[in-house]
Amino acid sequence: MVATLTRQDTTLAAIEAALPIDPQPYVIGDRASGLIVVDEVNGFCTVGHGPLAPPEPDEQIATMVSESDRLARTFVERGWPVLAFLDTHEPGKPEPPYPPHCEKGTGEEKLVPELEWLEKHPQVTLVEKDCINGFVGSIDVNTQRNVLLDWVKENKLETLVVVGICTDICVMDFVVTILSVRNHGLLPTLKDVAVYAKGCATFNLTAEIAAEQSLPKTAIHPQKVAHHVGLYTMAERGALIASTICL
Ligand SMILES: [Zn+2]
């Protein structure tokens, strides 16, 4: 059988060769571990649920959701903490360069149906955020208190396992920031930040769609390439890219 390579696959192969990542199984062992689920909300993951949601069923996103659900269930069964970021915006307050999305009350800001159970689970902390970077979004503007820092400290976490969307946007900004936070000595217990590759996903916006919608060239976002570049960037900053999470 002759494999038909799409233009994106060919580009991906070249980029994977030029910017290699080497995902390895991550063994949690006896480290105190917490799971961070980034923005697995309807507005980014549920078909047709807003301007930034997938327009059609998406395999990478579906895999991310089911793998996140599986991991989250295992974490809570073991008594380990889970923190979920929810992209949530005040109606009418923009987040440039994006169109209005995940506004309060639209349902876009709610966890996808498969993960709705997290909302009421006592071991789960929900953090609404109105910016890309979950670390920054965890800061209370009035008190300057950072919910994420408190959560890691209270649970004396040594490992953070990270899943979510988008690999190269909200996941990446959080991960590269928390690595600096760790290296700066703000979280003395924290040792590893493991990003589970199959637990992450990003969106696809082809050149054709960009042209159709009169979007600038810079809006072009090939899913597989962007996902890879996100993983590569996190790896080069010191994140461990995991092929599996061994619990
Ligand atoms: Zn947003």
pLDDT in tens, 213-246: 899 999 999 999 999 999 999 999 999 999 999 9
Q: What contacts 54, CB < 8 A, 6 or more positions away?
A: 45, 46, 47, 48, 61, 203, 204
- Three-class secondary structure of residue 208 per DSSP: helix
pLDDT in tens, 185-203: 999 999 999 999 999 999 9
What pLDDT shows up at residue 8? 79
Domain boundaries, the chain: 21-246
Instruction: Give me ligand 1 centre to Cα 130, in Å.
Output: 6
Instruction: Give me ligand 1 centre to Cα 93, in Å.
Output: 10
pLDDT in tens, 1-31: 345 567 778 989 999 999 999 999 999 999 9
Instruction: Give me ligand 1 centre to Cα 191, in Å.
Output: 29
Instruction: Give me ligand 1 centre to Cα 172, in Å.
Output: 14
Instruction: Give me ligand 1 centre to Cα 100, in Å.
Output: 8
Instruction: Give me ligand 1 centre to Cα 124, in Å.
Output: 21
Instruction: Give me ligand 1 centre to Cα 52, in Å.
Output: 9
Determine contact, residues 100/142, Cβ cutoff 8 Å: no
CA distance 210 to 212: 6
What pLDDT shows up at residue 1? 38
Instruction: Give me ligand 1 centre to Cα 70, in Å.
Output: 25
Instruction: Give me ligand 1 centre to Cα 87, in Å.
Output: 5
User: Which CATH number is 21-246 given?
Assistant: 3.40.50.850
Determine contact, residues 37/86, Cβ cutoff 8 Å: no
Instruction: Give me ligand 1 centre to Cα 3, in Å.
Output: 38
